[in-house]
Amino acid sequence: MAPSHRTLAGEITKGLLVENPVARLILGICSSLAVTNTVINGLAMGLAVIFVTVASSALVSMVRKVVPGGVRIATYIVIISGFVTLADLFLRAFFPDISKTLGPYVPLIVVNCIIMARAEVFAAKYPVVPSIADAIGMGAGYTWVLLAIGAVREILGSGTILGYTVLSEKVFTPWTVMVLPPGAFLTLGFLIGLINYVTMRRARKTR
């Protein structure tokens, strides 16, 4: 059942660009738009999602032969929400400031389609090691997109990057729209457009 034609490295790298969850599969859009008004929020969210995806993919893969098909979705949700609650409690205990800025979006990782999709599409069918590799790649793909959106929005919306001023208010009036939801949609749209353009050009060259 293991994917013999694929390598472990391939499982990791496919999530970065070719099957990027946000930019190519358009999954996990809600949180990518909601928490990316600064880079640091995007980073915290990305790390939390990597943790939950890896942990739940590993566990789902382990129990995949024991769980009857009829209750598999319910079982996955219990597993995923368990890890999400762990992450939420951990942030609240050790990083209260980040937990406060991320607000309700940490508990909402439960309904992040990326994690459910990886459990259902990949971890439920493959052994533990490839499942972990797949989850790392998907989580990393999600995280870099969040960082990219967060960087654009933070620079244009607040004139800062990671909290450090790069564009002084004297020369640049911050674009408030970039901190607001429309700015997230615009940035994501341009990013997806850019990625599609790059992949199309690549495909044309190889042909």
Site of interaction with other proteins (CB under 8 A): 37, 63, 65-71, 74-75, 78-79, 81-82, 85-86, 89-90, 92-94, 96, 157-158, 173-180, 182-183, 186
Nearest 5°: CA angle at 154, between 83 and 50?
A: 20
Residue 123: which residues within 8 A CB-CB, separation 6 or more?
Answer: 56, 57, 58, 60, 61, 64, 131, 134, 135
**What distances in angstroms separate CA 59 from CA 1, 111, 123, one per listed residue?**
18, 18, 9
CB of 56 to other proteins, least distance (A): 11
**Beta carbon nearer to other proteins, 17 or 167:** 167
**H-type alpha helices, the chain:** 8-14, 29-34, 39-62, 72-94, 96-102, 113-118, 128-158, 176-179, 181-206
The alpha carbon torsion through 17, 198, 184, 160 (nearest 10 deg) reads: 90
- Whether 106 and 88 have beta carbons less than 8 Å apart is answered as yes
CB of 76 to other proteins, least distance (A): 9
Tokens of 26: 């358009």
**Beta carbon nearer to other proteins, 17 or 177:** 177
**Beta carbon nearer to other proteins, 94 or 164:** 94
Provide the phi-psi class of 8: left if phi over 0, else alpha when psi is between -120 and 50, else beta: alpha
CB of 127 to other proteins, least distance (A): 17
**Beta carbon nearer to other proteins, 2 or 66:** 66
CB of 100 to other proteins, least distance (A): 8
CB of 195 to other proteins, least distance (A): 16
**Beta carbon nearer to other proteins, 17 or 90:** 90
Q: What is the C-alpha to C-alpha distance for residues 83 and 21, in angstroms, rounded to an integer?
A: 20
**Beta carbon nearer to other proteins, 90 or 125:** 90
- Whether 76 and 134 have beta carbons less than 8 Å apart is answered as no
CB of 31 to other proteins, least distance (A): 17
